[in-house]
Structure 1
Amino acid sequence: MPDKDAGTPRVFLIRHGETEWTISGRYTGRSDIPLTPHGEEQVAASREVIVGPGKIIDPSRLAHLFISPRTRAQRTFEILFDEKTRKEIGAQAEITEDIREWEYGLYEGLLTAQIRAGRKERGLDTERPWNIWHDGCEEGETAAEVATRLDRIISKIREIQAPYMHGEKGVDVIIIAHGHILRAFAKRWIGFELGMRLPMMLEPGAVGVLSYEHHKVDEPAFLLGVNMGGT
């Protein structure tokens, strides 16, 4: 059966490698926590399999990269691409606060159980437990604020990719960021409100893929599986 969507542009969601707070489950937004040695190994392992000429992420087919300003995301970028490649794609790399992690406000550095206990003490959540997708973060961001900045990036990506929906030119895009914000991005990519239930997992150092159906920019989709042999 022929691949009817072959050549369609893709967006690669790359989560930074493990940090000490990833291990403990603490909410890590603005805190600049470095990768652990194992976190660097996670990213390097992904690089060996999927990054390089003729592989899934082929630097020659990249049109743009959106990278979080946090050290853990910057280091992930450095591991994914060697110095020569970083120089070649440097003009396409954009470090932007629009793809930073969710602003957790009062919840920075806490565990979910601690957040819920604290909110209960303050008389909140009398009918159901706290849920970031619905309730946002005290002194941090609401879901609507997160969606607004993610939609700006999505609009930029669609402008880049729309003219080349049949593979006329390599216009793949990479986003290197964080666990919550990348899952939020995936929801907005397919037009979901952030409060809509869509359980997703993205391990540290892992790669997710988004694309389009039928070579149409107005039909964004998840790409549930990719051929590991590349393009």
Structure 2
Amino acid sequence: MSAAESSTPRVFIARHGETEWSRNGRYTGVTDLPLLEDGEKQVLGTGKRLVGPGKLIEPAKVGHVFISPRQRAQSTFRLLFGDDGTSNLTSSGKVSTEEMIAEWGYGDYEGLMTDEIRALRKKRGLDQERPWDIWRDGCEGGESAQEVSDRLDALIKKIHGIQRPCMYGEKPADVVLVAHGHILRAFTKRWLKYPMDFDFSMMMPPGAIGVLSYQKHDIDDPAIWIGMALPTETE
């Protein structure tokens, strides 16, 4: 990554660590599960390697952190940044708990697995010609793909407001989103201006961090990092 590229604001998307339901593949929206011990270790390992001075996410370059209200995301934020980083960001007014980055509202499908959801929908007379796809069909009793798209577009507009004046590194403007698997993949689609049902497969394991930014310092030309060299760690 060149010096010019590094001055362009970035959006880091951080998925919370493992919970009991993410471990066994159950859809977890509003159910407020804690991190498992293994989930805490995942996040601590990520934070140790990627968060801190001279690392991928430098707290001094962060303009704002948006965190889902669920405890698994709140805990992940604290573990990623540590006590000092959490305190410094919070006291400087750079941390918000944000409903717009809460997990997809699964409604009737909360706590179910994909096969169970598809069987339930078949029983209700749905999807007779093609299997259920959340990106197209949304969730009964929960959010549609359009509703999720609308709230993420509103969040992206807010992020653009933070980053637009800082496209050449005029001041710290990196944004960190700490949230959930489905909503972060949905956010990535909308960041790239793809419709929710665009066929764009993504994988994001618990505790993972992804990177989004802009090409040529242009706020109207969003991009995704598909690979990058990590900075040398400082002692």
TM-score, with structure 1 as normaliser: 0.97
SS at match of 1:6: helix
Q: Does the alignment pair 1:208 with 2:210?
A: yes
Supply the RMSD in Å over aligned alpha carbons. 1.4
Structure 2 partner of 1:63 = 63
5+ long unaligned stretches in structure 2: none
Change beyond 3 A, Cα 1:2–1:46? closer
Q: What's the offset of the Cα at 1:56?
A: 1.0
> Partners in 2 of 1:197 and 1:70 — Cα distance?
28
Equivalent of residue 110 in structure 2, options 108, 112, 119: 108
Q: Which amino acid aligns with 2:109?
A: Y
Q: Does the alignment pair 1:43 with 2:72?
A: no
SS at match of 1:211: strand
Structure 2 partner of 1:73 = 73
Change beyond 3 A, Cα 1:21–1:5? same
SS at match of 1:153: helix
Structure 1 partner of 2:27 = 27
Structure 2 partner of 1:10 = 10
Structure 2 partner of 1:95 = 97
> Partners in 1 of 2:211 and 2:164 — Cα distance?
17
**Residue-by-residue CA offset, 1:51-72 (whole Å, 9 max, x unaligned):** 0011111111110011000010
Q: What's the offset of the Cα at 1:2?
A: 5.4
> Partners in 1 of 2:81 and 2:131 — Cα distance?
42
Q: Does the alignment pair 1:162 with 2:194?
A: no
Q: What's the offset of the Cα at 1:229?
A: 1.0
Q: Does the alignment pair 1:225 with 2:227?
A: yes
Runs of 4+ in 1 over 4 A off after TM superposition: 1-4
SS at match of 2:163: helix
Give the number of equivalent residue pairs: 231
Q: How does 1:166-185 map to 2 (within 5 A)?
A: 166-185=168-187
5+ long unaligned stretches in structure 1: none
Structure 2 partner of 1:53 = 53
Q: How does 1:130-145 map to 2 (within 5 A)?
A: 130-145=132-147
Q: Which amino acid aligns with 1:110?
A: L
Q: What's the offset of the Cα at 1:4?
A: 5.1
Q: Which moves more between the two structures, 114-123 or 3-12?
A: 3-12
**Residue-by-residue CA offset, 1:141-192 (whole Å, 9 max, x unaligned):** 0000001111111001111111111112221000000000000000000101
Matched residues, percent identical? 53
The answer as to whether partners of 1:57 and 1:230 remain within 8 angstroms in 2 is no
Q: Which moves more between the two structures, 169-178 or 77-86?
A: 77-86
Q: Does the alignment pair 1:84 with 2:84?
A: yes
Q: Which amino acid aligns with 1:76?
A: T
> Partners in 1 of 2:87 and 2:41 — Cα distance?
22
Q: Which amino acid aligns with 1:137?
A: C
